[in-house]
Chain A
Amino acid sequence: MNTPAPSQVYAPTGASRLLETVAAWMLAILWILPLLYAVWTAFHPSEYSARFEPLAPLTFDNFSRAWSAAPFARYFLNTFALVTLILGCQLILCTLAAYAFARADFAGSGIAFALVLAQLMIMPDVLIVENYKTMNRLGILDSIPAIALPYVASAFGIFLLRQAFKTVPRELDEAARVEGAGPVQTLLKVYVPLAKPVYLAYGLVSVSYHWNNFLWPLIVTNSVESRPLTVGLQVFASTDQGIDWSIICAATLMTSAPLLIAFLLFQRQFVQSFMRAGIR
């Protein structure tokens, strides 16, 4: 997004430029409208939830009522623990595996890589029934590790880091060895620092994916102690509140707020990370 200005030859001028700008803005307003609508409803008393009067009184009441109506503090803590656990384990496992694939010329590497790539076809999102049975057998149903485990070994992460490690010049690797660094030290001192942008990209994508993930946590948890925010929000919205939309909107905004604020502050990093991770 910070590449030099594209050619202006075909940039529209005059009336067509105006038309394009107006159309682009209309679509943008349409796109952001649901969010604005939720913001309006959340910050106004419920009698204004679908009445748009510019002078309607502002209130934080909906947020405090939502916060006290369900254990959202605990849900935040759970989601935070979940996301940290997953990302931490993913980074360690994927780094080790990617290093082996990128630099070691070893027997069976083709088979091992195929076994890893299989996860791109057979995604954990689909294997919910069997993974539930496994968690049951392990006796860890309804716990945060049970939500995390199927996602910890990430084929996508291994693939992404392998590509990054492969671009590290071999001379740097050899120089580190000559200096007396062992394989692990070389990995930590040469490869990991050089792949920093990829780590950032993968981290952002992983955190937003697991912050937002819903189906598997819904299946595997059933208590306040292990429920992440998404499941907590669903339980809250579907049972406790009837149709008080002001409170539901407040709770909805609350659960998305950390990601949304992070996105607004670090827009460029977010967009570039999603792009880098997507293009592979």
Chain B
Amino acid sequence: MVCAPARTSAGLLSVNVMRNSTTTIHAWLLLLPALALLALFTHWPALATFIDSFFSTPRPRRSAAFVGLDNYRQILEDPIFWQALGNNLLFAIATIPVSIGLALLMALWVNDRIAGRTLVRMAYFTPTVLPMIAVANIWLFFYTPQYGLLAQLLSPFGGASQNWLGSKDTALACVTVVAIWKEAGFFMIFYLAALQQIPPNLAEAAALEGASRWYFFRRVQFPLLMPTTLFVLVNAVINAFRTVDHVIVMTRGGPDNATSLLLFRVYELGFVFWDTSGAAALTMVLLIGLGLIAFAQYFFLERRIHYR
């Protein structure tokens, strides 16, 4: 954007200024359709969420009234909010490291020329292509007591009647497993790409020095994969807070809110209880959290672009 050569002649300069003003008009015309839609469906709703979170929910006989921080106070006093927040943090803490660790392991395996690596890679990546809702339906069957696959596998050990999704102790873990299964293969491809970019002479040099494979991984491969790990991490964090399809299909937040996640709670408040103001306040909480994460990602991306 800044590669226009410096021009000294005054005449040329005024031509440039003229051209610049037409360029500006043209550019804004090109941007107009995209910006108009962004304003209508991103900027305005974000602002409206903020405003609505300070008003009461309009009811047929009572229009919305300014209530200050009441909606936020209600959220803080709502035990289900704290449970959803706790569930979501647990869900994130479990899915993120496990799916990233598995992704790295998968990438290392597929990167070595093992027999049938194309098929293995396909098996790892396939869940990424499937709709989450389809996947959730299949897993729902998996977890069915008495006659799902898990029950059958465990029946010799007396586990057939375990209601995996119906029990408060296991439901969240079941939902977490599905998310890990869906996500690991997706992250694998980024690691695979990064592994293939590591110059081979590094491995040769390390071998000459007598480094073990584990040492080579720990001191050479893993540090070189750090940018990929950061990138994958940010994506995993965002996904942990914005995917609730599997919760809706498998448990509807139950039993007794044991699998309620923040975005699911927004959905429940807004479209099951029609408490749109409560939902707005909760959306703000979620937006601020996601904004902080995306902010970190933006700075990280900028840094990478500078390095290039």
Contact = CB atoms under 8 A, between A and B. Distances in A.
Given A24-B109, A122-B46, A274-B128, A104 B114 contact: no
A274 B121 CA distance: 14
A115 B297 CA distance: 16
Interface of A: 1, 3, 5-12, 17, 20-21, 23-25, 27-29, 31-32, 34-35, 37-38, 41, 49-50, 92-94, 96-97, 99-101, 104-109, 112, 115-134, 149-150, 152-153, 155, 158, 170, 183, 208, 211-212, 214-215, 218-219, 229-230, 233-234, 237-238, 243, 245, 248-249, 252-253, 255-256, 259-260, 263-264, 267, 270-271, 274-275, 278-280
B123 to A, nearest CB: 4
- 5 nearest CB pairs, A to B: A7-B200, A130-B45, A121-B294, A153-B37, A212-B131
Interface in B39-79: 39-46, 48-49, 52
13 contacts: A28-B123, A49-B147, A96-B31, A97-B34, A104-B26, A106-B28, A118-B38, A119-B38, A121-B290, A122-B291, A134-B44, A249-B137, A256-B129
A149 B2 CA distance: 35
Contacts of A249: 137-138, 141
Contacts of A106: 20, 23-24, 26-28
Contacts of B119: 28
Interface of B: 1-4, 20, 23-24, 26-28, 30-31, 33-46, 48-49, 52, 102, 105-106, 109-135, 137-139, 141-142, 144, 147-149, 152, 181, 185-186, 189-190, 192-193, 195-198, 200-201, 203-204, 206-207, 213, 216, 231, 235, 242, 244-245, 248-249, 263, 266-267, 270-271, 276, 279-280, 283, 286-287, 290-291, 294-295, 297-298, 301
Given A97-B30, A120-B294, A271-B189, A155 B38 contact: yes
Contacts of A29: 123
The SS class assigned to the A binding surface is helix
B130 to A, nearest CB: 5
A93 B245 CA distance: 29
B196 A27 contact: no
A96 B34 contact: yes
Nearest to B227: A279
A35 B192 CA distance: 24
B31 A218 contact: no
A245 B148 CA distance: 10
